[in-house]
């Protein structure tokens, strides 16, 4: 889009004027330079534009965000390990909803979160997200049936999605894109710690009282709330409440929330409760996808202040950045949910031991994320990191297909180390192609939509893995064992795990072999999906990254250290 168009579509600032960079120093006249970046102005000198993160206030804000993010990450990694025990204790069947309900809550609300953060400011949205997460945790801990647990997980998802989205938005407010990799690497370390301790914690609580798996979130949420309340002091828009409400894109939010809800319901039922070809799946899925498509049309053509401006996806590099994020969400979620199944069903490990067994994967996510961020900051490039992430992840999944009932420990630990590095790189890398072509005034919308895409893809990851596991187990489990359970494949998977150690031979070995063989099909399917991620990287452009932040959203009382300037980016 042109420079003028960028101004016309940028959000309203604190003085009622567009908040983007508005006085371009140069105009691109050579048509060969016009592409994803033809409208963006010349970057100011880094010596005058980079913020000063060494300030105490900056680090207090950063710590508050890390504690809040730790909440969401710990819940994601611990619940999957304890899931078989929870489902058995509540006498449930729809295990997939425990994961999908969280994804539904976080996904449907995320575009709204970006709009709310842009209109009401970042701090109240972070606080509200933490409160929602705490409320959902309390409901899950007190659940006496699967319906109550799923409701609690949905509320948790609303809070968790808000926490993740606003954390990325606030970091973007304070750190320029080119320098942001190092700081997002710190967030990656927080995720790695949560991933490392989450599975053993989930396993430990599942053997004692799984309810405390959710109750333990309450004191952590209280700490995060105190830190955010006292230290997250950022600039806020000065409009009155009525003006803020009027600026909200309510119709667009209705489209995306309704569409996401319908499609997630369909995906959760698909292949488990109802066949893919049934009207119970096809009707909500088609309606949901139509509403989501209608949402994008409405945002592009009608909305005055859209929650997902068309500029976010009308250039090739940002679009492919979102595409690789979607694919990464599918692959990573499949691994998180179904690798513990290998250890519990095939290796006959208990919940605690299986949680320890996946540590190798969790602990190598941080080095991958930090390496990605550091190389982006040093070399000012991002395509090689995205490509490396997909190559390493694909290789790891290929190694996963070699897993057997008798695989030595050294091998499955080594396979997970490779997988963790690949996923760690891909946790950080897609952000850069998404944001590089966009004006910095669109950070909130772009990052909220980024988190939306990642959360929505997680539902597809759970569903794809669940459908494959169900269909394969129906074929490969011995019939006498199948007769012990309802004919719902995925429910058999989780209901069967506690029964396997007590089975007589040779049935026990046959069941273990059936599980490892069924999981192998999941890993093969994920390799095919990784190919889509590789292709998306090949279509990206290598663009110069921002070295300024949006002065409208800095810390309170921060002296203005950036200057308005024009900006022209060209392809190398």
* Each residue's pLDDT tens digit, 35-90: 344 333 333 333 333 344 557 777 888 888 888 778 777 776 677 667 777 877 88
Q: What are phi and psi of 50, to 5 degrees?
A: -75, 130
Torsion over CA of 384, 387, 390 and 392, rounded to 10 degrees?
A: -50
Confidence at residue 529, expressed as pLDDT on a 0 to 100 scale: 94
C-alpha to C-alpha distance for 551 and 441, rounded to whole angstroms: 9
Confidence at residue 491, expressed as pLDDT on a 0 to 100 scale: 58
Confidence at residue 52, expressed as pLDDT on a 0 to 100 scale: 47
Classify 505 in phi/psi space as left (phi over 0), alpha (psi -120 to 50) or beta: beta
Closest CA to 299 of 308, 291, 290: 308
C-alpha to C-alpha distance for 407 and 235, rounded to whole angstroms: 55
Confidence at residue 134, expressed as pLDDT on a 0 to 100 scale: 92
Confidence at residue 111, expressed as pLDDT on a 0 to 100 scale: 77
C-alpha to C-alpha distance for 447 and 190, rounded to whole angstroms: 19
- Looking at the structure, give the CATH architecture of the domain made up of residues 56-249+304-553: Up-down Bundle (1.20)
The domain segmentation of the chain, as residue ranges, is 56-249+304-553, 250-303
**pTM exceeds 0.85:** no
Is the separation of the CB atoms in 436 and 99 below 8 Å?
no
Confidence at residue 319, expressed as pLDDT on a 0 to 100 scale: 93
Other Cβ atoms less than 10 A from the Cβ of 478: the count is: 14
C-alpha to C-alpha distance for 99 and 87, rounded to whole angstroms: 12
Residue 541's alpha-carbon distances to 93, 181, 322, 458, 536, in angstroms, are 46, 19, 14, 26, 11
Residue 274, strand partner residues: 270
81: which 2 tokens? 């390990």
278: which 2 tokens? 């049934």
Please report which helix (H) or strand (E) contains residue 358, including its range.
Answer: none
Strand, helix or coil for residue 170: helix
C-alpha to C-alpha distance for 523 and 64, rounded to whole angstroms: 37
Confidence at residue 504, expressed as pLDDT on a 0 to 100 scale: 87
Is the separation of the CB atoms in 122 and 243 below 8 Å?
no
Confidence at residue 321, expressed as pLDDT on a 0 to 100 scale: 93
C-alpha to C-alpha distance for 452 and 494, rounded to whole angstroms: 28
3-state secondary structure 402-433: CCCCCCCHHHHHHHHHHHHHHHHHHHHCCHHH
Provide the CB-side half-sphere exposure for 240 (13 A, CA).
1
* Below-70 pLDDT ranges, the chain: 1-54, 76-77, 80-81, 92-96, 99, 178, 181-182, 185, 188-189, 191-192, 195-196, 199, 206-207, 234-241, 244, 271-272, 486-495, 546-572
C-alpha to C-alpha distance for 46 and 563, rounded to whole angstroms: 11
Largest CA-CA distance found in the chain, in angstroms, rounded: 78
């Amino acid at each position: 889009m042109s420079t003028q168009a960028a101004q016309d579509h940028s959000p309203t600032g604190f003085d009622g004027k567009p908040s983007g960079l508005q006085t371009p120093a140069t105009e691109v006249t050579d048509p060969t330079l016009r592409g994803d970046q033809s409208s963006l102005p010349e970057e100011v000198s880094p010596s005058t534009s980079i913020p000063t993160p060494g300030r105490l206030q900056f680090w207090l804000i950063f710590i508050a965000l890390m504690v809040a993010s730790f909440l969401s990450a710990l819940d994601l990694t611990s619940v999957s390990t304890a899931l078989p025990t929870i489902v058995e204790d509540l006498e449930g069947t729809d295990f997939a909803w425990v994961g999908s309900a969280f994804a539904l809550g976080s996904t449907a609300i995320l575009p709204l979160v970006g709009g709310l953060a842009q209109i009401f400011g970042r701090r109240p949205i972070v606080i509200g997200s933490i409160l929602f997460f705490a409320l959902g945790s309390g409901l899950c801990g007190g659940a006496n049936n699967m319906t109550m647990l799923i409701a609690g997980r949905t509320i948790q998802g609303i809070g968790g999605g808000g926490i993740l989205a606003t954390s990325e938005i606030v970091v973007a407010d304070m750190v320029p894109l080119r320098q942001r990799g190092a700081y997002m690497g710190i967030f990656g370390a927080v995720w790695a710690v949560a991933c490392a301790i989450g599975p053993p914690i989930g396993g430990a609580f599942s053997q004692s009282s799984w309810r405390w798996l959710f109750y333990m979130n309450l004191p952590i949420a209280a700490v995060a709330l105190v830190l955010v309340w006292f230290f997250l002091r950022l600039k806020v828009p000065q409009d009155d409440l009525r003006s803020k409400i009027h600026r909200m894109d309510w119709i667009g939010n209705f489209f995306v929330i309704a569409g996401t809800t319908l499609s997630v319901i369909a995906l959760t039922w698909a292949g488990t409760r109802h066949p893919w070809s049934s009207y119970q799946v096809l009707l909500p899925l088609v309606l949901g996808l139509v509403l989501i498509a209608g949402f994008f049309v409405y945002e592009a053509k009608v909305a005055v202040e859209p929650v997902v401006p068309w500029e976010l996806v009308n250039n090739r590099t940002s679009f492919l950045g979102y595409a690789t994020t979607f694919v990464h969400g599918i692959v990573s979620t499949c691994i998180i949910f179904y690798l513990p199944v290998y250890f519990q069903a095939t290796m006959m490990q208990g919940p605690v031991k299986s949680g320890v067994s996946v540590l190798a994967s969790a602990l190598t996510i941080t080095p991958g994320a930090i390496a990605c961020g550091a190389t982006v900051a040093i070399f000012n490039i991002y395509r090689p990191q995205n490509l490396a992430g997909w190559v390493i992840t694909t290789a790891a999944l290929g190694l996963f297909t070699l897993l057997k009932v008798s695989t030595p420990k050294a091998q499955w630990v080594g396979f997970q180390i490779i997988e963790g590095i690949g996923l760690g790189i891909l946790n950080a890398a897609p952000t850069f192609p998404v944001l590089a072509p966009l004006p910095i005034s669109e950070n909130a919308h772009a990052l909220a939509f980024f988190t939306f895409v990642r959360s929505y893809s997680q539902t597809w990851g759970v569903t794809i893995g669940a459908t494959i596991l169900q269909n394969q187990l129906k074929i490969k489990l011995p019939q006498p064992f199948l007769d012990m359970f309802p004919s719902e494949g995925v429910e058999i998977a989780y209901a069967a795990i506690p029964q396997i150690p007590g089975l007589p031979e040779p049935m026990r070995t046959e069941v273990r072999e059936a599980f490892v063989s069924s999981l192998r099909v999941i890993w093969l399917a994920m390799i095919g999906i990784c190919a889509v991620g590789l292709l998306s990287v090949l279509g990206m452009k290598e663009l110069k990254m921002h070295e300024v932040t949006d002065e409208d959203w800095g810390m309170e009382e921060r002296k203005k250290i950036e200057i308005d300037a024009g900006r022209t980016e060209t392809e190398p």
